[in-house]
Amino acid sequence: GNKLLSKIAEPIRVLVTGAAGQIAYSLLYSIAKGDVFGKDQPIILVLLDITPMLPVLDGVVMELQDCALPLLREVIPTDKVEVGFKDLDAAILVGSMPRKEGMERKDLLKANVAIFKTQGEALEKNAKKTVKVLVVGNPANTNCLIASKSAPSIPKENFSCLTRLDHNRARSQVAIRVGVPSDSVKNVIIWGNHSSTQYPDVHHAIVNNHGKEMSGFDAVNDESWLKGDFISTVQQRGAAVIKARKLSSAMSAAKAICDHMRDIWFGTPDGEWVSMGIYSTGNSYGVPNDLMYSFPVMIKNKTWKVVDGLAINDFSRGKMDGTAAELVEERDTALTFLGA
């Protein structure tokens, strides 16, 4: 009987913010069912949203109960940060202030600095110091930076922002172009900001082209597409989905969040890397320090390491610098609001 007892893990506490929204609606089932943290890992789900959304949240709680998921030990809906951020093992910060029509980028930044400063402070005060924090709400990189600066005793490495959706988009575009399944394409890279300046880079990608391994460029065999339409398609994909669906990406965003968190928990496959926005400090790519910037990373024991020493040509250099410049400007604007 003892063997059985030792197999029952302690539940982990996982927070999702913006939990009444549509990304969360696509995300919560996958987490509660064990797709992210493992099939034998019980979970306490903490769902945070703003007060007017509490009735909606109650409906989500009912549905989670009605899924009858064996790993889901408890669901805690709340509008209070001190409840939401208590003793967390993982925090997925989806909720943010969306851009409203006619809104200046500056106003958007100001509203989000206030939100992510509050959440960073709540992490600092209430969460475990080992908590892994994933920021999804836009502008994700800068929101993530503000949260990490507001939680100084939690290691900067524990914070990341979502560029996995862009990574998956890039991987899929190449796969469709070559006519292979998406898992036949690996090691694409998203550099920089989760915005339209991001740089989807295929210079190091490897494609298994019907049994034959080759470089992304050789497999696609169309350099002008790879340096043109491919990049703009990935950069503009979010806008294209909104135009078509009248709502932003939810299913694909939720899937990317699951991929990102599962890779943090269980590591990346040997010889493969993924993209995520992480704290830039002393890297070999000349990216300015003190930004959340998307790099290629390998993950082991819940710790990421930037893939170093990849050759960067002039074309890539220009694109990497461009997205860095946008992030520096975003950061500097955000920091003027942080003191306020």
CATH of the domain at 109: 3.40.50.720
Residues 168 and 302 in one domain: yes
Q: Is 277 known to sit in a ligand binding site? A: no
Q: Is 202 known to sit in a ligand binding site? A: no
Residues 17 and 121 in one domain: yes
Query: Sorting pLDDT into bands at 50, 70 and 90, what band is 6?
Result: low
Whether the pTM exceeds 0.75: the reply is: yes
In a domain, 340, yes or no: no
Residues 104 and 189 in one domain: no
Residues 73 and 207 in one domain: no
End-to-end, the C-alpha distance of the chain in Å comes to: 59
Residues 239 and 129 in one domain: no
Residues 58 and 195 in one domain: no
In a domain, 3, yes or no: no
Residues 195 and 305 in one domain: yes
Q: Which of 141, 161, 181 is the last residue of a domain?
A: 161
* Domain count of the fold of the chain: 2
Residue 2's pLDDT is 52
pLDDT in tens, 41-58: 999 999 999 999 999 999
Asked if 25 and 64 touch (Cβ cutoff 8 Å), the reply is: no
Q: Is 112 known to sit in a ligand binding site? A: yes
DSSP secondary structure, 123-156, as one string: HHHHS-TT-EEEE-SSSHHHHHHHHHHT-TTS-G
Residues 144 and 198 in one domain: no
Residues 84 and 205 in one domain: no
Asked if 215 and 207 touch (Cβ cutoff 8 Å), the reply is: yes
C-alpha 317 chain-centroid distance = 24
Residue 106's pLDDT is 86
Residues 245 and 187 in one domain: yes
Indicate whether 279 pLDDT > 70: yes
Q: Work out the percent of the chain whose per-residue pLDDT is above 70.
A: 98
pLDDT in tens, 85-108: 999 999 999 999 988 888 888 889
Residue 98's pLDDT is 84
Residues 44 and 101 in one domain: yes
Residue 7's pLDDT is 62
pLDDT in tens, 206-243: 999 999 999 999 999 999 999 999 999 999 999 999 99
In a domain, 7, yes or no: no
Q: Which of 94, 128, 161 is the last residue of a domain?
A: 161
DSSP secondary structure, 222-266, as one string: -HHHHHTHHHHHHHHHHHHHHHHHSS---HHHHHHHHHHHHHHHH
Residue 5's pLDDT is 52
In a domain, 4, yes or no: no
Q: Is 126 known to sit in a ligand binding site? A: no
Residue 3's pLDDT is 55
Q: Mean pLDDT over residues 2-18, rounded?
A: 80
Q: Mean pLDDT, the chain, as a whole number? A: 96
Q: Which domain holds residue 216?
A: 163-335
Q: Is 169 known to sit in a ligand binding site? A: yes
In a domain, 106, yes or no: yes
Spatial separation of the C-alpha atoms in residues 30 and 258, rounded to whole Å: 8
Residues 106 and 225 in one domain: no
Domain CATH code at residue 257: 3.90.110.10
Which of 85, 108, 113 minimizes the C-alpha distance to 16?
85
**Whether residue 204 lies in the annotated active site:** no
Task: Record the tokens describing residue 272, joined without a space.
Answer: 């493969």
Residue 153's pLDDT is 98
C-alpha 307 chain-centroid distance = 18
Q: Which of 111, 132, 161 is the last residue of a domain?
A: 161
In a domain, 6, yes or no: no
In a domain, 56, yes or no: yes
Catalytic pick from 167, 194, 204, 260?
A: 194
In a domain, 124, yes or no: yes
Q: Is 105 known to sit in a ligand binding site? A: yes
Indicate whether 22 pLDDT > 80: yes
Q: Mean pLDDT over residues 277-292, rounded?
A: 96
pLDDT in tens, 102-129: 888 888 999 999 999 999 999 999 999 9
